[in-house]
Structure 1
Amino acid sequence: MNEQAITGLHHITAISGNAKKNYDFYTRVMGLRFVKKTVNFDDPHTYHFYYGDETGTPGTILTFFPWEDIMAGRRGTHMATEIGYSIPEGSIDFWLKRFEKENIIYNKPSSKFGEIYLTFLDPDGLKIELTVPDLPDSRVPWVTPEVPEEHATRGFHHVTLTLEDVQATSDILVSVFGYQLVKHHANRYRFASPAGDTANFIDLVEAKGEPRGHVAGGSIHHIAFRMKDDAMQLHYRQLLEDRGLHPTEQLDRKYFRSVYFREPGGVLFELATDTPGFAVDEPIAELGTHLMLPDQFEPQREEIVKKLITLG
């Protein structure tokens, strides 16, 4: 296998409103592990939450910037619009009953590319799909008293980008990132990385003439692709530079290192390294139990803590 091949998604970052509602929904209702409680690098009085599996394995990490009074976003073109999680066969009924009990807005199960899926909205209106994949997903889930192993999410299955025109974005996925078009139905095109077997689908939906979306509360801010190490990241950064896509310099995000660029369809993409990971400042057994601040904000800890809401 090509050592430089992208295997799939690293993380997805979204925007929410109330931090406590977000925390309760993803840890209790969805049964994800709260992997890291930290703050926004650009706004240290705002949390940055990370949810995932036991260690925050790339391909399971969903992150949020919770802004208390943010306006609601609007799904449309030029943005990522749906997050797909993988669940085991036989789990749809469990999630239907759970959503009923929790008064979650959902649609009846449907089928896409031969796979059954269940669509629902989180408390801020973020659109999420639970998909039973063709091939069983062997990733080990995080388990809670309310969400048992046989029904727990395994990590990402896909992410959907809604675009005015899919051509330029598909060219980046194929000719730069090494993805392949594997399925196509009507205006939906599914691309997969042949180097990965989980979190490796990107769906492009062509919606010519539809209004442009607005990224705010309940919206996906960006999607990140896995880079094994700095050398691989540098390789792809150069490819993007050569294409005139103006990638940023490498930025240190403490748990990974990042390069950002906006792909031709308008979606913010990130290249994120697998290293150093979330155990760099907390033992695995204690992940998510402390407020971890970037080093530059540590002197302001007392003031920052006063302004952050308590999660309970």
Structure 2
Amino acid sequence: MTVPIHHVSLLTRYAEENRFFYTTILGLRFVKKTVNQDNHKMLHYYYGNYAGTPGSVITFFVVPALAKRYDNEHFLSSIGLKIPKGSLPFWEQRLAKAQIAFTKELTSLQFKDRDQVNLRLVEVNQPTLSSNLQVPSSIPGNKQILGLLSTEFHIADPEKTADFFYRLLGLKNENGQIRLNKSDFIQLVSTNTSEKTRMGRGSMDHIAFSIKSENDLDLLYKKAKQQRWQIEKLIHRGYFKSLYIREPGGNRVEFATLTPGFTIDEPLETLGERLILPSFLEKKRTAIEATIYQEK
């Protein structure tokens, strides 16, 4: 079974700087401004390619008073992003001009955002974005970010997490790396502390994997129940239907459908221009807007 990365969701304290970094610096489109459906006080930002297609999306829950994070016995870390082969010099110059510190390896650049999220741009041998997915920006179409590539699972017992992915999805662990398809992968990293993790600025709340249809998701849910994994919820988020599970290491993973997508409640041309609430929350708009955390 192939399960490409659908999106990753993190926490940010710095709304304005977050938006500037991911749109102006990285060239992603701000495709949706909504709220955390489990805590309506939090704004929820979505970034991606022009259409916000699964596999391109990074999301942030905005919490202005968020404290420092403590990554200890289990956590998700790093966002690997694919860029076209030959575009590394362009990105090196762009980051340097923006005075963003980075380290360079053979085909990758590593750096951090204001919340100290670890990011990595990696050259891959894939076609550039099709014209309908390119974001109008100062970044040439043949240099734009192609999508998500990887992340890391930091856990006390990598074998248990590897067993979860093998039993549920049939994905094999090869020297600490689990391939999700031809390009996407997750890295399993062993932690060596019993101190508790504390979520904070830059914490990754979860990683989501792509499931083709609601029927496939329902079948996966039944399989997860049969295998007695720690299921949190099966819920429709409006833009996709999701299954949330805690893998044995303690990290939250989501399985999300490819459709209906972000244009279900606003036109493609004006994505992200105003606060959108899913239809099932629209009747609560006045109350939500009155208590929502202010953007800072």
Tell whether the 8 Å contact from 1:33 to 1:142 is kept in structure 2 after alignment: no
Unaligned runs of 5+ in 1: none
2:158 alignment partner, one of 156, 161, 166: 166
Number of positions where the alignment pairs a residue of Structure 1 with one of Structure 2: 293
Tell whether the 8 Å contact from 1:7 to 1:197 is kept in structure 2 after alignment: no
Q: Does 1:33 align with 2:23?
A: no
Tell whether the 8 Å contact from 1:161 to 1:205 is kept in structure 2 after alignment: yes
Unaligned runs of 5+ in 2: none
Report the AA paired with residue 109 of structure 2: L
- Distance, in Å, in 1 between the alignment partners of 2:89 and 2:70 is 29
Per the alignment, in what secondary structure is the counterpart of residue 143 of structure 2?
coil
For structure 1, which segment, 281-290 or 74-83, has the greater mean C-alpha deviation from structure 2 after superposition?
A: 74-83
Report the AA paired with residue 210 of structure 2: R
Per the alignment, in what secondary structure is the counterpart of residue 225 of structure 1?
strand
- Distance, in Å, in 2 between the alignment partners of 1:50 and 1:160 is 21
- Distance, in Å, in 1 between the alignment partners of 2:148 and 2:73 is 22
> TM-score, normalization: structure 2?
0.91
Alignment partner, residue 81 of structure 1:
77
Alignment partner, residue 104 of structure 2:
109
Aligned alpha-carbon RMSD (Å): 2.1
- Distance, in Å, in 2 between the alignment partners of 1:77 and 1:119 is 24
Report the AA paired with residue 167 of structure 1: E
- 1:211: how far off? 4.9
Q: Does 1:42 align with 2:38?
A: yes
Report the AA paired with residue 191 of structure 1: I
Alignment partner, residue 13 of structure 2:
17
Tell whether the 8 Å contact from 1:6 to 1:225 is kept in structure 2 after alignment: no
Q: Does 1:146 align with 2:138?
A: yes
- Distance, in Å, in 2 between the alignment partners of 1:172 and 1:129 is 26
Give the direction of change, closer, same or farther, for the CA distance of 1:277–1:79 in structure 2 (3 Å limit): same
- Distance, in Å, in 2 between the alignment partners of 1:50 and 1:228 is 20
Give the direction of change, closer, same or farther, for the CA distance of 1:164–1:309 in structure 2 (3 Å limit): same
Tell whether the 8 Å contact from 1:44 to 1:297 is kept in structure 2 after alignment: no
- Distance, in Å, in 1 between the alignment partners of 2:216 and 2:284 is 35
Per the alignment, in what secondary structure is the counterpart of residue 292 of structure 1?
coil
Q: How does 1:1-312 map to 2 (within 5 A)?
A: 5-106=1-102, 108-111=103-106, 116-133=107-124, 135-140=125-130, 142-182=134-174, 184=175, 189-193=176-180, 196-198=181-183, 200-209=184-193, 211-302=195-286, 304-305=288-289, 307=292, 309=294
Report the AA paired with residue 155 of structure 1: G
Where does structure 1 differ by over 6 angstroms across 4 or more consecutive aligned residues? Answer: none
- 1:98: how far off? 2.0
Tell whether the 8 Å contact from 2:33 to 2:43 is kept in structure 1 after alignment: yes
For structure 1, which segment, 94-103 or 298-307, has the greater mean C-alpha deviation from structure 2 after superposition?
A: 298-307
- Distance, in Å, in 2 between the alignment partners of 1:96 and 1:244 is 46
Tell whether the 8 Å contact from 1:165 to 1:208 is kept in structure 2 after alignment: no
Report the AA paired with residue 149 of structure 1: G
Tell whether the 8 Å contact from 1:11 to 1:224 is kept in structure 2 after alignment: yes
- Distance, in Å, in 2 between the alignment partners of 1:28 and 1:172 is 38
- 1:205: how far off? 1.4
- 1:310: how far off? 6.2
- Distance, in Å, in 2 between the alignment partners of 1:167 and 1:261 is 17
Report the AA paired with residue 178 of structure 2: F
Percent identity, aligned pairs only?
31
- 1:27: how far off? 1.0
